[in-house]
Structure 1
């Protein structure tokens, strides 16, 4: 077993950028309790545990400091880069609890092909409760982008907001955690603002993952891509960039490729910590 430390979705030339992730290679001997303990000791939002590693395949499980989750985008990018540096082939099939995720890998960056995504309406009492936990008002929402419940490997309630809202976001972490625990939301809560046709800013509260806010969230970015396609908000095929993490001191950049149909792809760079 080897424990590696990476930062994923980095920005060129910025040593503070990217979301930290643990990557544990050759994890066959570890129990669930062992994996949870290692994830808690590392203290990152997620750690990936890889077993049955072959040149073109691996079994991957993901743990936050609190629990196992089905999928993690930034830890997948980090794992892909780690395997490329170990001599993996150009594409590695990751068998995750969310499904099989093909990952194109290189020693500097990786592209994951997300599992099938879904988009559902989000409103009513649940939206009101979520806004209250986020300390937001309905007037803070973007009238052109409806809230939605998205899945890109993990469940995420997507909250698009107007200009100026992200900078003053100060969510009630205890209230968000109670809501996440009650609803079983293992993913972050992406609060996003559309800067331009192909550029988004995002903040992602994540107390269920043991941190206040996640610096970069690949599964939420994949879900956002599906949302934009379903609502006809981009011209197909499309590429959009999600900028995240500046408020946490970890500015990150996520590239989302959206085909006219089929699975969304998410690309990012990774470096060792």
Structure 2
């Protein structure tokens, strides 16, 4: 059986870079094993499988080369970028059914945004627990290392921005730590006066590092706002330059009169890269 797989990038910067995802419109049912095999052959951190839904406009399933995940921001943005190019959607509001719930999507002429609920905050982690995963001398002691969830739990790790690119992660140690805390991976970030730069590690799911992560960016925006580290209604996160794929993730927060976050919109630009035909057994 041949399966048509599109490739599109999300969170691109000036129509280059970003994070690639595989996108498959399901014409017939595929098993979990087949979906993982397709994701593995495509070789991207995540691929999206799109079908009809009786609960929303579309149903989205997300697979890494090793397993299924509940939600993936960049694969969602890439998919709607492709669907806009194919004429399957137009600038408007849509909804998608995912394992993380029903997610509202806004299609704009140049950007796609996905709406999410505010992040949940979980345990704080002491710096020595990261000693085998990264060089903890780079950690910024002014801020908390904490597990935060935005569709999937991540460990947010503040580091000194000048040492961010020099980090040499221990993938096995990060995978072990991720399993211990029940998280997808580790989202490491550094702050300058003007920029917020990130790196994301998820070796437990077969993704050592990826160039743009939407759900993690949403979690980080909530973290920065809630902890009064950098209070903004709109954040722009830079990621992926160290991988040769510069990315720009935009996060817009909605807050009430008490300055409590009531909505999170994560989005960015994208472009269509390629199409492949895969033989699936």
Asked whether the two chains share a fold, i.e. TM above 0.5, the reply is: yes
Structure-2-length-normalised TM-score: 0.87
Aligned to 1:148: 146
Q: Distance in 2 between matches of 1:112 and 1:205?
A: 22
| Unaligned stretches of 5+ residues in structure 2 | 256-260, 274-281
Aligned to 1:196: 193
Q: 1:27 to 1:48 in 2, by over 3 A?
A: farther
Cα contact 1:103–1:113 (8 A) shared by 2: yes
Q: Which moved more, 1:101-110 or 1:36-45?
A: 101-110
Alignment coverage as a number of residue pairs: 263
For the residue of structure 1 that corresponds to 2:66, the secondary structure is coil
- What's the CA shift for 1:25? 1.2
Q: Distance in 2 between matches of 1:196 and 1:141?
A: 18
Q: Distance in 1 between matches of 2:22 and 2:108?
A: 18
- Which aligned pairs between 1:63-78 and structure 2 lie closer than 5 A? 63-78=63-78
Aligned to 2:239: 244
- Which aligned pairs between 1:29-40 and structure 2 lie closer than 5 A? 29-40=29-40
Bigger RCO of structures 1 and 2 (CA < 8 A, at least 6 apart): 2
Q: Distance in 1 between matches of 2:271 and 2:180?
A: 35
Aligned to 1:134: 133
- What's the CA shift for 1:229? 2.1
| Unaligned stretches of 5+ residues in structure 1 | none
For the residue of structure 1 that corresponds to 2:228, the secondary structure is coil
Aligned to 1:222: 218
- What's the CA shift for 1:246? 1.0
Aligned to 2:204: 208
For the residue of structure 2 that corresponds to 1:228, the secondary structure is helix
- What's the CA shift for 1:244? 0.4
Structure-1-length-normalised TM-score: 0.89
Q: 1:116 to 1:258 in 2, by over 3 A?
A: closer
What is the root-mean-square deviation in Å for CA atoms of aligned residues? Answer: 2.0
Structure 1 runs of 4+ off > 4 angstroms? none
Cα contact 1:80–1:106 (8 A) shared by 2: no
- What's the CA shift for 1:216? 0.4
For the residue of structure 2 that corresponds to 1:202, the secondary structure is strand
Q: Distance in 1 between matches of 2:40 and 2:146?
A: 31
Q: Is 1:157 the equivalent of 2:155?
A: yes
Aligned to 2:258: none
Q: Is 1:234 the equivalent of 2:230?
A: yes
Q: Is 1:259 the equivalent of 2:254?
A: yes
Aligned to 1:91: 93
Cα contact 1:82–1:107 (8 A) shared by 2: no
- What's the CA shift for 1:106? 4.0
- What's the CA shift for 1:144? 2.8
For the residue of structure 2 that corresponds to 1:264, the secondary structure is strand
Q: 1:27 to 1:229 in 2, by over 3 A?
A: farther
Aligned to 1:123: 125
Q: Distance in 2 between matches of 1:271 and 1:123?
A: 38
Q: 1:172 to 1:253 in 2, by over 3 A?
A: same
- What's the CA shift for 1:148? 1.5
Aligned to 2:107: 105
- What's the CA shift for 1:242? 0.6
